[in-house]
Chain A
């Protein structure tokens, strides 16, 4: 045991960490991690300040939209404190033992932290998620408040991104739009991965007749452009968030192909043969041996699919078949902007930029994950 790791020093540093997350790390000389904790702390402190300043810190009272954000804010603070504490303890212990063996995920995380592409993507996504969760704290008013006197006012100090044709603040609508984009994109992608993963696993693992049937179904669904199919179905079932999520979730079967091809190669591995030889039941083989080894490509596909879904939802809303008008969604904002192209450029430019940045974040993260998770590139 080194001098730095005697009991008193450890207790002191852990107490410091409880006092202020990151302090313990810095005392021990882990500057990067400690400063990262301070960065998070500063961001959340700023959010808390904004919330208090605008009188939106609601606790069991006030509009329900403030509730969620308030709860999340305090939850985030709690997580930050605990995380700093436990991370410090774990790091101290790890510095004691000399381990030269690295697991797959350790290698991956080390490679990821050196890849600027992935970090940029992760940063963008983190910021967008943060804005979505704390939308009511960041927005000036709310997304629906109209100012019918100053409609179509250009960007000014008070309204940095201008007002739209109903006098609604474009920035506020963009801020609340993050919730719609990420919510629909995220939930639809979960459904995609569930259905697509299921079909891909079944087809890839069992091959033969089930595979042929599944592949024909995929071909049928894939033969019409995805946007046209979704457009058609949404126009039949009526627009709305639930319909959008269900339709995107069920018919977005692109992931199934990729998962299938991944499973096809995994099932030929020797360890699957070994598991089968031992007499493991099929379900166990699929869940314990095939799935974890296909997780890398699942992760990449999930990230990319979120981006695709956000773009498709924006396209549908732009065509008038997605999110219904009063609700602030980036695609619907662009649809409204089309009419005022000649007089109000700010209505068209900013929502589009937000779509690009968000989708770009997911795409670049997916791209980086693909490189990082590739086990061949050690």
Chain B
């Protein structure tokens, strides 16, 4: 187990390094002069030239790469358009996305697990068809359109929910205030639509797989009540892959967050990366893309280890 962990962490380091290289190459091919953007509109050619030297745009590429990485690691890298260190900018925006993502995941699990469970138990019944069709529909709905529809119906027509923004916050969290909570509803429901669909399908498939196992037959043969068989024997085993899979959906959450946050003006890191791409703020884009990549990799690793923890039959090595 320990050897496996070491190997995985080393692999992760290689991938992370590759990711920094990929991003660096991409950013260096970005058209537009970052110095000119930083200097602003009325800058003279001389001041732009000075800024170019100060930013080190004339240094060899590997020096620039090293500066970017070490700046990120020790937290000194400055955002170009925010006049703050990149980490500060990201950390300011992170809570908004975290609460959006967590709310969406919780919502998705509350809907999708019962739905998937029921549709697996009543397989090939009308209920099953409704759930599977709805789930397929869910992965076909673009999140941003769903957010737009929710905004139109509940914000513009019915006037029951605020259309956009984050509302009041307490200690940087908006779910702690009533106003903030109301603002949270539309984006999190929109974001959770995809997760609901994915998890409902997953729950159903996992439940069906478990119900094929022989220990279910054994449990029935023992004369246990059907409900006990389904809940205690089948459902508990079927739940493990579903719960661990949430870790693998971090990528989908980030991608969905970019679209939902842009649509509903939710000031999280999804909106931040979109804004930074628009403003050509290379350091924020670099830092944030790396951050998202690292989050994804770490959750992937955690999922793998969690599997072994939950299911003692799995051993690595």
Contact = CB atoms under 8 A, between A and B. Distances in A.
A360 B137 contact: yes
B267 interface: no
B139 interface: yes
B252 interface: yes
Contacts of B113: none
Interface in A63-96: none
A117 to B, nearest CB: 9
Residue from the set B11, B14, B136, B278 with the largest chain A CB neighbour count within 10 Å? B136
B263 A338 contact: yes
A360 B197 CA distance: 13
A53 interface: no
Contacts of A359: 139-140
Contacts of B30: 236
Nearest to A222: B251
A318 B29 contact: no
Contacts of A342: 156
Interface stretch (B64-72, B184-192, B292-300): B292-300
A228 B258 contact: yes
Given A220-B18, A224-B296, A363 B136 contact: yes
A233 B139 CA distance: 25
B113 to A, nearest CB: 20
A334 B148 contact: yes
Interface string B268-281: 00000110011000
A220 B277 contact: no
A195 interface: no
Interface in A346-362: 348-349, 352, 355-356, 359-360
B145 interface: yes
Nearest to A314: B142
Interface string A209-242: 0000000110111111111110111011110000
B148 A360 contact: no
Interface residues of B, number: 45
B140 A225 contact: no
B142 A224 contact: no
A356 B148 contact: no
Interface in B141-157: 141-145, 148-149, 151-152, 156
B41 interface: no
A231 B277 contact: yes
A349 B14 CA distance: 45
A348 B149 contact: yes
B170 interface: no
Contacts of B27: 236
B266 interface: no
B26 interface: yes
B255 A225 contact: yes
Nearest to A236: B30
Contacts of A219: 11, 15, 297
A372 to B, nearest CB: 15
A228 B254 contact: yes
Interface in B23-60: 26-27, 29-31
A342 B155 CA distance: 10
B144 A315 contact: yes
Contacts of B273: 228, 231
Interface string A357-377: 001100110010000000000
Given A223-B15, A226-B255, A227-B255, A232 B277 contact: yes
Residue from the set A224, A226, A235 with the largest chain B CB neighbour count within 10 Å? A224
A227 B259 contact: yes
A204 B198 CA distance: 27
A307 B140 contact: yes
Given A233-B26, A341-B151, 6 more contacts: A216-B11, A223-B251, A225-B254, A228-B289, A228-B292, A238-B31
The 6 closest A-B pairs by CB, nearest first: A352-B145, A225-B255, A223-B293, A359-B140, A360-B140, A227-B255
19 contacts: A220-B18, A221-B22, A222-B251, A223-B15, A225-B296, A227-B258, A227-B259, A228-B254, A228-B292, A232-B26, A232-B289, A311-B140, A311-B142, A318-B142, A348-B152, A352-B145, A355-B145, A364-B136, A367-B136
